[in-house]
Amino acid sequence: MFTKDSRREQFLTLLGADWTYCDDNSLEELTPSWDNENLGRSKARVEEAMLEYGSRMETGSAAPAPILRPTDRGKDILDGMQSLGGFQIIGGTRFPAYIVKTASDVMANTIRIMANHILNGGHAPTSLWTKRQAIQHLVNSGGKSLEEIARLGGWKQADVEEEKDYLDWSFAIRSIGGPEEINKGIVLHIQDNAKMDDLRQAPKPIVAFVQDLKTGRFSNGDSKPHIESFFAVNHKKGKLHDQFSKNLATFREDPEVKTRLEDRCRTRMGPDVNLRRALRTVLGITEELAAKKTELLYMDEFFHLLNQIRTNLQAMVKTRKPKVNS
């Protein structure tokens, strides 16, 4: 069902892991939640992959031996969860595996995250997802360098550095109350124009600005000049909260920005609110024109539109369900 795999041996040796090959392991020896925890994939269990492995095993096709790590809770799977799932589906119990003995969680997580990217094929997660996992768990939490991660993953160091900037700044913005998901280009524009201390000094206007960018669905190109203007503050002058609040007000007074924000807000409101606002706008315009005694051409057309609106409103009154008195 399982066999030795030279690529796995080379991978473990490259990492400097202390490993042995053990012919006799049992599914019962695995950690209780072995099929629910997997840093190496965005989804721990991939049923399609497990069924495929099980089907292959039944026809005599062996899978590469999994990689396990002994812990106090049992043997933890560092690589091979899907193949072990397929093995379980067809009723397997005992199997060979590579056993990694390490007290280092960083070493274990390095194997867990990078094995799918380096060793596995069809059912492995995307490179971007793996790259972000490597940065979060191996660089930010594990102390590895970006150079190490880039070399190990076969990525350009510049791409890894850019991804780390995005993760760090998007986390910092979320930490002060910003949106959960922010366009990557916008985050990188902010990083280019802001200081991390700005977020601590003036969280409210900055969060409001970023939320407006998201609400208005600004693209990378659209947002760039606004980001440059908003973060153009005088740090020597101090009172950053006041400066950013002033810049926020200026941003919101921009005609394009006002249109974007008003249109987006309108789409989230109920039809009655939108209709009332539209009619009040029309009422205000007609009052202003009447006060100025403005002469309009094609008055019949305006009365025709007004009659159409009245007809539609009356139709809605007729279709409305009558109230039931208690």
For 171-209, how does the pLDDT look when each residue is reduced to its tens digit (9 = 90+)? 999 999 998 888 999 999 999 999 999 999 999 999 999
What local confidence, expressed as pLDDT, does residue 126 receive?
Answer: 62
Assess whether pLDDT exceeds 90 at residue 107. Answer: yes
**Count of residues making up the chain:** 326
Range of weakest confidence among 15-24, 90-99, 189-198, 307-316: 307-316
State the average pLDDT over residues 61-67. Answer: 94
Highest mean predicted confidence (pLDDT) among 35-49, 114-128, 241-255: 241-255
Alpha-carbon distance of 186 to 244, in angstroms, equals 18
- pLDDT range class, residue 122, cuts 50, 70, 90: very low
Mean of per-residue pLDDT scores for the chain: 87
What local confidence, expressed as pLDDT, does residue 270 receive?
Answer: 64
SS3 content of the chain, % helix, strand, coil (to 5): 60, 10, 30
State the average pLDDT over residues 276-288. Answer: 81
Alpha-carbon distance of 227 to 206, in angstroms, equals 10
Instruction: Tokens 């206007």: give the residue.
Output: 205
Task: Give DSSP secondary structure letters for 95-144.
Answer: EEEEEE--S-HHHHHHHHHHHHHHH--TTPPPHHHHHHHHIIIIIITT--
What local confidence, expressed as pLDDT, does residue 326 receive?
Answer: 47
Assess whether pLDDT exceeds 60 at residue 121. Answer: no
Q: Of 225, 177, 238, 184, nearest to 205 (Cα)? A: 177
- Whole-number percent of the chain with pLDDT over 70: 90
Look up the pTM and report it: 0.68
Please say whether the beta carbons of 22 and 99 come within 8 A.
yes
Assess whether pLDDT exceeds 60 at residue 125. Answer: no
Assess whether pLDDT exceeds 60 at residue 63. Answer: yes
Alpha-carbon distance of 105 to 206, in angstroms, equals 37
Assess whether pLDDT exceeds 70 at residue 255. Answer: yes
Higher pLDDT, 88 or 256: 88
What local confidence, expressed as pLDDT, does residue 264 receive?
Answer: 59
Assess whether pLDDT exceeds 80 at residue 243. Answer: yes
